[in-house]
């Protein structure tokens, strides 16, 4: 049985407060040893994901900025990708979202009416304070291509912001710390469908897909996998979700990720002929 694992990062594989993945090392080692692909599905940017992949020892496709783009390493599995993938540095990328310049323009118009603050309004030092990242990491987080994370001071303004976004062909999704303004045709679920299609068709791999997330913006991803896993928030607990076969991790962050995915792998391997 081939297994394919999709995972959110912040609040799931990475702890909510300190971004550590140390308690997930046993299952990460197990994935590497079994050559099970681990596909990041994150609100982070490409510039954030690259060094994290290097630290973890994985070289797999990944999905950035809430489904804004699918990145496939150059030469991955020695296959040729469809022509809609374009070359970008060490990757081939399929853009599913709108360009950041367009999103930022709409956000600036919204900002003139509502008390919202986006990454584009902040210095790297200010992003670091708000996010808990180091300044160098915050600089990479500001390198947006498909989305604008933002803070909203008055939650009752959200419905009107959503209406304005919809008129511009965009939408607002909520992550663990920030809201995100993105194109209305992008989400983590659409990107996961695209990656699963690549594995079945281009890469020739039928598989069982496991998906792991903790936030509202992860629900589209969890709806597209065979085994959805929900990580609890350290304070709010589990997100309300009704999904067939849902597995609830016992603990937040990397500890819950390690325990829940380890249990899922045990069960899948026991069922394998």
- What are the pLDDT tens digits along the chain (273 aa)? 899 999 999 999 999 989 999 999 999 999 999 999 999 999 999 999 999 999 999 999 999 999 999 999 999 999 999 999 999 999 999 999 999 999 999 999 999 999 999 999 999 999 999 988 999 999 999 999 999 999 999 889 999 999 999 999 999 998 878 999 999 999 999 999 999 999 999 999 999 999 999 999 999 999 999 999 999 998 888 988 889 999 999 999 999 999 999 999 999 998 876
Q: Quick one: pLDDT at residue 175?
A: 83
Strand order in the sheet with 170-174: 116-118, 148-152, 179-183, 170-174
Q: Quick one: pLDDT at residue 151?
A: 95
Q: What are the respective helix, strand and coil percentages of the chain, to the nearest 5? A: 40, 20, 40
At residue 199's C-alpha, the angle toward residues 195 and 200, to 5°, is 115
Catalytic pick among 8, 10, 187, 214:
8
Tokens of 87: 């070359």
Q: How many residues does the chain have?
A: 273
* C-alpha dist (Å) from residue 109 to 116, 150, 168, 258: 11, 14, 11, 43
pTM, two decimal places: 0.94
Q: Quick one: pLDDT at residue 66?
A: 95
Does 8 participate in catalysis according to the annotation?
A: yes
Report the distance separating Cα 2 and Cα 220, nearest Å.
Answer: 22
Q: Quick one: pLDDT at residue 272?
A: 74
220: which strand partners?
A: none
95: which strand partners?
A: 69
Q: Quick one: pLDDT at residue 192?
A: 98
Q: Which residue has the tokens 């589990």?
A: 238
* Pairing relationship of beta strands 116-118 and 148-152 according to DSSP bridges: antiparallel
Q: Quick one: pLDDT at residue 214?
A: 95
Q: Quick one: pLDDT at residue 31?
A: 98
């Amino acid at each position: 049985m081939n297994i394919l694992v999709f995972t959110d990062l912040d609040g799931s594989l990475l702890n909510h407060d300190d971004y550590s993945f140390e308690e997930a090392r046993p299952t990460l080692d197990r994935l590497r040893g079994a050559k099970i692909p681990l596909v990041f599905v994150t609100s982070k940017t490409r510039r954030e994901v690259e060094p994290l992949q290097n630290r973890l020892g994985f070289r797999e496709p990944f999905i950035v900025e809430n489904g804004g783009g699918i990145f496939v390493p150059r030469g991955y599995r020695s296959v040729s990708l469809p022509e809609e993938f374009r070359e970008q540095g060490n990757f081939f990328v399929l853009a599913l979202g709108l360009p950041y310049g367009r999103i930022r323009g709409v956000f600036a118009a919204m900002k003139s009416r509502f008390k919202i603050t986006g990454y584009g309004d902040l210095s790297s030092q200010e992003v670091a304070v708000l996010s808990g990242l180091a300044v160098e990491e915050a600089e990479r987080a500001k390198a947006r291509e498909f989305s604008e994370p933002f803070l909203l001071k008055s939650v009752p303004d959200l419905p009107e912001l959503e209406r304005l976004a919809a008129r511009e062909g965009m939408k607002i999704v909520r992550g663990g710390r920030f809201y995100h303004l993105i194109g209305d045709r992008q989400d983590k679920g659409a990107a996961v469908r695209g990656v699963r299609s690549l594995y079945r068709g281009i890469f020739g791999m039928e598989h069982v897909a496991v998906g792991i997330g903790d936030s509202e913006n992860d629900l589209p991803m969890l709806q597209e996998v065979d085994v959805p896993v929900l990580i609890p928030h350290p304070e709010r607990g589990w997100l309300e979700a009704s999904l067939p076969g849902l597995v609830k991790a016992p603990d937040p962050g990397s500890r819950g990720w390690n325990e829940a995915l380890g249990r899922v792998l045990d069960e899948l391997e026991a069922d394998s002929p």
